[in-house]
Amino acid sequence: MWWFFRIISSSVFLLTVVLSIPISFDVGGRDSGLAYSLSLFAFYLLYSSAKLATPDNSRIRWAFTKFLQSSQWVVIPGLLIWSLHNFAVDANSTDWVSRTIGGLGSRNHSTWSDWFFGNGGLVESVTLGSWDKALRYSSPVFQLAEGFCTLLVIQAAGQISRWLVNRGRSDTWVLILLILSASIIASAVYFLWRVALFPSISNVDATLIGVTVTSAVFLCAIGIGTGRGNPVESSLLFAYVVLCVYQIFTDYVQSPEAQAVAAEQAANQPEFPPLPPIIMASYSTLVHLFNLLPSAVYSSLSFLHAAFQTIAPSVMISLVYRIIVFYCATRIIPAVRESGARALMQEPSLDDSDDANRLLGFLSWFSPSILIAVYTSLLLQHFSASNNEEGWTLRHGDAGGNTWRWVNVAATMSLYAIELYLGSDDDGGLVNHWKTD
């Protein structure tokens, strides 16, 4: 029963982090968001270090970690209020230009300690500036780590599918896996066709896309033909390559030209209901029921909707994808490799004979801090400032980093090619100890 409460607690923590960090950026500005994310990072780094450094059977460890775990529901909103109060744009009558764009109007400090430790002093500027630079320089590392974890998940999926085929009822599993692989490839081809229609693609971009897709198809064909890969691995690799190409050339939002064309088409369409009358009647009833909810519930739902609207779609998609592949690479794959699905709810261990599992277990201990750093780095890629009345936003910035995305695609396919070259036809390291009927 405890696993259910752990899932609920983890979900609430994830939702809190996903909503609170962009709120600090959107309400208080760049400095406020950086201060809040840094304080959250330090808090969970202390929590993870305390759990890792103390013995499992220590009472001091149990008391200290339980105290930190219980206090996080007070610490998170407290840190958010603290950052908005001390680092927001309007805090202490400091304008946006002086705090966020360049600090042109320097603050006058009365004493040396105030200049060094005070609000807007040297320690604050160096700390926030170092955190900002660290996140920006870590963005390529996060991108390459995403590709590496994705490759681990692809290999694990291929080995599990091979085990399913060989365990019995092979014809049924072969058919199911072929249908799944074909569906994945068809979806990837559709999005690749969408990329080909983007007006911003130049001749150089088209050449890079052609070389990348051709290389991916060649690797997939080599893997299936030699028997060292299978359709599941090939389809997932091709889908990931298309995903990376799609993220390079779009931000998951319509261009102004596409929005104008869609508005014109909507204006020329006759005013027919989009769905059958019985469905529209049910929808109207559902909306009416939502309007009858208590004001507190309605306000909470409105707040959640407004909070999610501050996040760019590409940030949310990238975050969800990185969480999934990181969790699979650090928890699911090592657990299933060692003792099957029963180990999924156990804490990761550093006492492992496999060096790779030991490294992944070490990273999983600091997963909350890594999540905060990755999420803040994604938000900073879309943070932009302007001199108009909007001031700043998290949705219209230039994400950049296309060079490292191309490097990630090339590195992922290169690692997969090396794996095909060094692997064997019956490689089943993940499932070679599983029982077969």
Beta carbons of 314 and 247 less than 8 angstroms apart: yes
Q: What is the average pLDDT value for the chain, to the nearest integer?
A: 76
Q: 13 in helix, strand or coil?
A: helix
What is residue 183's predicted lDDT score, i.e. its pLDDT? 95
What DSSP state is assigned to residue 393? Answer: E
Which tens digits make up the pLDDT trace of 360-386?
A: 667 778 888 998 999 888 888 877 665
- pTM value surpassing 0.85: no
User: What's the CA gap between 156 and 428, in Å, rounded?
Assistant: 9
Query: What is the pLDDT at residue 236?
Result: 94
**Residue 125 in this model has a pLDDT that exceeds 80:** no
Q: What is the tens place of the pLDDT at every residue in 322-354? A: 888 888 877 666 655 554 444 444 555 555 555
Query: Residue 290 phi/psi, 5° resolution?
Result: -65, -35
**pLDDT, mean of residues 208-220:** 93
> Between 151 and 87, whose confidence is greater?
151
Q: pLDDT digit string (tens) for 27-53?
A: 888 888 899 999 999 999 988 888 887
pLDDT at 413 over 90: yes
Alpha-carbon distances, residue 380 vs 143, 308, 427 (angstroms): 14, 16, 42
239 — pLDDT class (breaks 50, 70, 90) = very high
- Give the helix, strand, coil percentages of the chain, each rounded to 5: 75, 0, 25
Q: How far is 320 from 325, CA to CA, in rounded Å?
A: 9
